[in-house]
Amino acid sequence: MDYSIIFVCLMGMGTVFFGLICLIVLTTLLGRVCGHRRQDAAPAAAVPAPAPAADQQELIAAVSAAIAEDLGTDITGIRILSIREV
């Protein structure tokens, strides 16, 4: 069979649009399913960081100075929120 150029173009464009419509439908359905589950989940409460002890303040000062030196900035531009052992 010899297909015309118009028929091939229309079949190609139809296939692409059909695929795009399928993607839109699937993403809409998944968005509704995931959105429904997200509403059921309770929001996590923010836990405030504990105040650093006197020994930790020296550690924070040393770490801040090292980071400032490495970045080449002033130490006032660095803010360390917490330090944990790894």
Please tell me the pTM assigned to this model. Answer: 0.39
Query: Alpha-carbon distance 38 to 61, whole Å?
Result: 41
2-59 pLDDT, tens digit per residue, is: 889 999 999 999 999 999 999 999 999 998 888 865 555 566 666 666 665 667 888 8
Tokens 């190609």 correspond to 12
CB 80 within 8 A of CB 60: yes
Query: Alpha-carbon distance 54 to 49, whole Å?
Result: 15
